[in-house]
């Protein structure tokens, strides 16, 4: 299925199920992604494929949320730039933000 058809399906799902239901589904999908990350970190069999599946669900949900709540690409890009700059400053300042065994 190409990108245009995917977007049409996603727009139709908003129309069919409504904002509230789709928003709840998005919250549930985010929870499932959290669980998938946890399983991957614990080395569960099949966890990497499950992680990819849940990531796909959340990416679709981000599109739905963007459409439902009129979030523009410009808004998202601005926030991504701000968050990236903040992370860069933290790393330059040796902020202990995410220090751990993988911080090397």
Q: What is the pLDDT of residues 80-98, one digit of tens each?
A: 999 999 989 888 887 666 6
Helix (H) or strand (E) holding 33: helix 3-41
Encode pLDDT of 39-94 as tens digits. Answer: 999 999 999 999 999 999 999 999 999 999 999 999 999 999 999 999 898 888 87
Nearest to 47 by CA among 36, 58, 59: 36
The domain limits of the chain are 3-71
pLDDT at 79: 98
The pLDDT assigned to 92 comes to 86
Q: Residue 64 CB: number of other CB atoms within 10 A?
A: 21
pLDDT band at residue 104 using 50, 70 and 90 as cut-offs: very low
Q: What letter would DSSP give residue 104?
A: -
pTM of this structure: 0.83
């Amino acid at each position: 299925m190409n990108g245009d058809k995917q977007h049409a399906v996603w727009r139709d799902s908003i129309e069919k199920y409504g904002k509230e239901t789709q928003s709840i589904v998005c919250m549930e999908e985010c929870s499932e992604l959290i669980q998938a990350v946890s399983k991957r970190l614990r080395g569960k069999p099949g966890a990497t494929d499950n992680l990819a599946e849940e990531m796909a669900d959340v990416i679709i949900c981000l599109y739905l949320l963007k459409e439902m709540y009129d979030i523009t690409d410009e808004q998202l890009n601005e926030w991504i730039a701000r968050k990236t700059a903040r992370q860069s400053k933290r790393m330059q300042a040796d902020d202990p933000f995410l220090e751990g065994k993988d911080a090397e």
